[in-house]
Each structure stands twice: as structure tokens, then as C-alpha cells.
Amino acid sequence: MSTTKVLSGMMDVMKGMQEKIDTLEKKVNESSKEKEEEKPKTEPTAEEIKLYKQSSQ
């Protein structure tokens, strides 16, 4: 086997690995965005405010 073929094959493998890494990074970024959207609001609802006022009296 010639050195050129070996190097060419290694480059192809590395390109494939880089593509897999890129797709995994996209999936991770998308899932982290979804998790951020799922987080509850930090502001209390009107019902929670009413309950708090009742309990603090």
C-alpha cells in the first residue's frame, strides 16, 4: 500500500469523525435549548401571591 493511499484513507476517516462530532454538537445544543425553554418562570403566579398573603397574615 502506498503512503498516499494510507494518508488519503486517514483523512477520510478524520472527516467522517468530524462530521459525527458536528452532528452530536448540534443535538446537544438543541437539547439544551429545549431544556432552557422548559424551565418554569421565576415569577410567582397570582394564585401563589394570594396564598402567600393569606399564610403570612
Per the structure, the complete domain to which residue 35 belongs is given by: 3-56
Identify the pLDDT of residue 55.
81
> And the C-alpha cell for 38?
422548559
**Mean pLDDT of the region 45-57:** 82
Distance (Å, whole) CA 15 – CA 17: 5
Whether the CB-CB separation of 22 and 30 falls below 8 Å is answered with: no
Number of domains in the chain: 1
Nearest to 20 by CA among 48, 5, 12, 35: 12
39, pLDDT greater than 70: no
pLDDT value at 40 more than 80: no
User: Of 12-16, 27-31, 47-51, which range is least confident?
Assistant: 47-51
* Averaged confidence pLDDT in the chain: 86
Report d(CA 22, CA 9) in Å as an integer.
20
Q: How many CB atoms lie within 10 A of CB 56?
A: 6
pLDDT exceeds 90 at position 14: yes
